[in-house]
Structure 1
Amino acid sequence: MTPKKSLWDFISEVQLIVKPHSRHFHILCLIFLYPLSLFLLLSPTIYNLFDYFFIKNSLSLLSPQTINPTFLLCSLFLSFLSNCGIITIIYSVFHFSHGEPVNLSSTIKSIFPSFLPLLATSIVSQLIFFFISFFYGLFFILLIHGAKLFHLTLLPHSSPFIIGFLIVLPIIVVQTYLEVNWILASVIVVVESCWGMEPLRRSATLIKGMKGVALSCIFFYGFSGSIMILNLLYLTRAYDGFTESWFAAVLKWVLILTGSYTQAIIMLSKIAVTTVFYIYCKGNNVETAEEVGKEYVSLPFHDGGKVSQVV
């Protein structure tokens, strides 16, 4: 077995994989991840512009409550870009870590065999979480009505905020538990060419003994990305492109564009770390010891940042 590592070890290994091929990863980031983060940060501005042109200053038949079809189409397109970005980055990191040649053409081609399996696996995982939440909500409703039937008071003298928190807390715990166990699922779909429940089960098996690292990865990148997005959304929440001076508008656009790219880099780093984490967990798993004996086991870095493979 390979020695235990922390999240920072995986981040360091990712940097040593990405740095020699920075141009390749920057291109993938610009093509697939940058539009996603840019649209997310510009969504308040786009909504304000849509409201200005199509609701306030036109005789559009759309009511203010109508769902903007442009947003729906953009969301579908950005979901497509997101899955493509996940596939291409996983493919690139996995093959670069093995010292195999990868170019932009082969990376783009890797999307075709993995896109539908990744989409299906995502749908399966979301359905599982939906049904867990649904049955939990149904149970809670039955509990409340049962308490009323027997004239019982649940959580007496508690504020609505505390009650709401206690209702949401189990959902958060369950979601976090599932994310920890399924953190490697997307990598397994791309690398092992499987889909549906199989990547979820396989991820839960490989992650045993390393759930602390998985949890820290989710919290670290979730916190970093949330702070970046919330700050920039606060900056753009009231921006409509008409009511500010040109200097304020230019400054905000500079911050939006640079912030969006920073957010895209955070997303790239998380996908790459998850890929390296999968390689480590696979090499560290007892059930696959014989199989991994012929493959890549760990990613120790020596000799000025070069990858030295252990077989």
Structure 2
Amino acid sequence: MAPKKSLWDFMSEVKLVVKPHSRHFHILCLIFLYPVCLSLLLSPTISNLFDYFFIKNSSSLLPPQTINPTFLLYSLFLSLFSNCGIITIIYSVFHFSHNQPVNLPSTIKSISTSFLPLLATTIVSQLIFFFISLFYGLLFILLIHGAKLFHLTVLPHSSPFILGFLILLPIIVVQTYLEVNWILASVIVVVESCWGMEPLRRSAKLIKGMKGVALSCIFFYGFSGLIMVLNLLYLTRGHDGFTESWFAAVLKWVLILLGSYTQAIIMFSRIALITVLYIYCKANNVEIAEEFGKEYVSLPFHDDGKVSQIV
């Protein structure tokens, strides 16, 4: 059994896998993740343009209560490109870590076999969380009405923000718990060719003993991505190229483009680290040894950077 490792150890191992194939991974980031990150930042601008050119000038064609078509197209775009990015990065990291040859065409080809299973698994996980949230909401409503019936005070008199946080706290805890247990599900879908509840159960089984690393991964990359997005959204807020000087407009666009790529790298690093974590968890559960035998070359487990072998 391999020794337990921290989040920083896994980051170092990701670098050892990615560095020899940096060009391959940069291409994947530019094709799939970069458009997603850029569109997230430009979504307010795109929505405003749609409102101006279509809704304002064609109110007879689109009633006020009609669902904004850009939202549907944007959701489809995000789902398509983000899932393709997840699949290709997982496929590449997994095979490169086993010293197996991978090229761009074979990586793109992996999308055809894993896209629908990954989408189905994502829908299943979101439905589970939705029904848990719905049950909690109904239970909370019954509690409030029951308290009113018996003239009891359920919530203390305090700030609305504190009350809102206390109400949402159980949902946040449940969501974090599920994310920790299901963090390997996307890798399992791509690598083990399964979908639905099976990847969720497999992930909960494999991640045992490594939940601390999984939780650190969620908070570290989540916080880093949030800070980056908020700063870049501040740049795009109220963007008006007609009233700004050309220098300010060019500088803002340069920062947006560079920031979007940085955000794509953060997304890529998280996906790659989860893939490495999956390999480690399988090795820790003595599953890789059974599947690959001596041909499997594990990720480095030594501080000197040498690659060890699991047999």
CA distance in 1, matches of 2:53, 2:288: 62
SS in 2 for 1:183: coil
What's the counterpart of residue 16 of structure 1? 16
What's the counterpart of residue 74 of structure 1? 74
Does structure 2 conserve the Cα–Cα contact (< 8 Å) formed by 1:279 and 1:296? no
Amino acid in structure 2 at the alignment position of 1:166? L
Normalised by the size of structure 2, how large is the TM-score?
Answer: 0.93
Does structure 2 conserve the Cα–Cα contact (< 8 Å) formed by 1:180 and 1:214? yes
Amino acid in structure 2 at the alignment position of 1:147? A
* 1:265-300 Cα deviation digits (max 9, x unpaired): 1101000000000000011126x3762572647411
What's the counterpart of residue 300 of structure 2? 300
CA distance in 1, matches of 2:116, 2:260: 27
SS in 2 for 1:32: helix
SS in 1 for 2:93: helix
Does structure 1 conserve the Cα–Cα contact (< 8 Å) formed by 2:181 and 2:211? yes
* 1:171-200 Cα deviation digits (max 9, x unpaired): 000000000000000000000111100100
Amino acid in structure 1 at the alignment position of 2:107? T
Does structure 1 conserve the Cα–Cα contact (< 8 Å) formed by 2:228 and 2:263? yes
What's the counterpart of residue 100 of structure 2? 100
Stretch of structure 1 that moved more, 277-286 or 215-224: 277-286
SS in 2 for 1:29: helix
What's the counterpart of residue 272 of structure 1? 272
SS in 1 for 2:271: helix
* 1:187-236 Cα deviation digits (max 9, x unpaired): 00000111100100110000111100000000000001000000000110
Does structure 2 conserve the Cα–Cα contact (< 8 Å) formed by 1:48 and 1:240? no
Q: Kindly tell me the number of residue pairs found equivalent between the two proteins.
A: 309
Change (3 A) 1:161 1:140: same
CA distance in 2, matches of 1:230, 1:278: 30
Amino acid in structure 1 at the alignment position of 2:152? L
Q: Report deviation, 1:52.
A: 3.5
What's the counterpart of residue 227 of structure 1? 227
CA distance in 1, matches of 2:112, 2:306: 31
Does structure 1 conserve the Cα–Cα contact (< 8 Å) formed by 2:183 and 2:203? yes
Amino acid in structure 2 at the alignment position of 1:279? I
Q: Report deviation, 1:303.
A: 11
What's the counterpart of residue 291 of structure 1? 290
Q: Report deviation, 1:3.
A: 0.7
Does residue 119 of structure 1 match 2:119? Answer: yes
Does structure 2 conserve the Cα–Cα contact (< 8 Å) formed by 1:96 and 1:102? yes
* 1:9-45 Cα deviation digits (max 9, x unpaired): 1111111111110110011111110110000011122
Does structure 1 conserve the Cα–Cα contact (< 8 Å) formed by 2:298 and 2:307? no
Change (3 A) 1:93 1:254: same
For 1:1-311, list aligned pairs within 5 A: 1-56=1-56, 58-61=57-60, 62=62, 66-285=66-285, 288=287, 291=290, 294=293, 296=296, 298-300=298-300, 307-311=307-311
Amino acid in structure 2 at the alignment position of 1:92? S
Does structure 1 conserve the Cα–Cα contact (< 8 Å) formed by 2:98 and 2:298? no
SS in 2 for 1:244: coil
Query: Over the residues paired in the alignment, what is the CA RMSD in angstroms?
Result: 2.1
Amino acid in structure 1 at the alignment position of 2:40? L
Change (3 A) 1:168 1:197: same
Does structure 2 conserve the Cα–Cα contact (< 8 Å) formed by 1:49 and 1:240? no
Stretch of structure 1 that moved more, 74-83 or 240-249: 240-249
Amino acid in structure 1 at the alignment position of 2:160? P
Amino acid in structure 1 at the alignment position of 2:223? F
* 1:97-132 Cα deviation digits (max 9, x unpaired): 000000001101111111111011000000000000
Change (3 A) 1:100 1:292: same
CA distance in 2, matches of 1:148, 1:213: 44
CA distance in 1, matches of 2:133, 2:304: 49
Normalised by the size of structure 1, how large is the TM-score?
Answer: 0.93
